[in-house]
Amino acid sequence: MTLEYRKAVSDDAELLADIYNASFYDDYLRYGSCPGYGKTKAEMEESIRKYPKYVILCDNEPVGCISCHKLEKGVYEIGCLCVVPKFQGRGIGTQAVQFVKTMHEDWKKFTLVTPIDKKENVRFYTEKCGFQVVSIEKDGNVELARFVSER
């Protein structure tokens, strides 16, 4: 399995919308809404401009996306990490997190949020990626865990 990361451009908007929809469909069904699901091409183009994204390629096939932006000097937030369901469980997400850490050599802290009741996400970020839950936040009716990884 060969993984590569390609910086997303505006022409990737439809591809990324498809990847997000496949990855977040279950969340949409579970919560009744999901910020990663149902984006229009125009919304995804704007998101690509605002938040740097990388298309994750597995053996040259687009299978996911990781988005990361700088909050302040040395502090970064992973806004989105998604891998289409048929490619999950192969270490792709874990390697994507390592990829963004190497992209930002000055990092002191990485942060992100995910629904606290998604036990598989909590295990993934804590056990596979070395993050710790530091707080609980609310987004509408969804409780989110705030994760941090510090050097």
Residue 86 has pLDDT above 90, yes or no: yes
Residue 30 has pLDDT above 90, yes or no: no
Q: What is the average pLDDT across 53-82? A: 97
Q: Does domain 3-150 have CATH number 3.40.630.30?
A: yes
Q: What percent of the chain has pLDDT over 70?
A: 100
Residue 29 has pLDDT above 90, yes or no: no
Confidence band of 142 (pLDDT split at 50, 70, 90): confident
Q: Are 20 and 59 in contact (CB under 8 A)?
A: no
Residue 90 has pLDDT above 90, yes or no: yes
Can you give the pLDDT at residue 36?
85
SS3 string, the chain, reads CCEEEEECCHHHHHHHHHHHHHHHHHHHHHHCCCCCCCCCHHHHHHHHHHCCEEEEEECCEEEEEEEEEEEECCEEEEEEEEECHHHCCCCHHHHHHHHHHHHCCCCCEEEEEEECCCHHHHHHHHHHCCCEEEEEEEECCEEEEEEEEEC
What pTM was estimated for this model as a whole? 0.92
Residue 74 has pLDDT above 90, yes or no: yes
Q: What is the average pLDDT across 100-114? A: 96
Average pLDDT, the chain: 94
Confidence band of 116 (pLDDT split at 50, 70, 90): very high
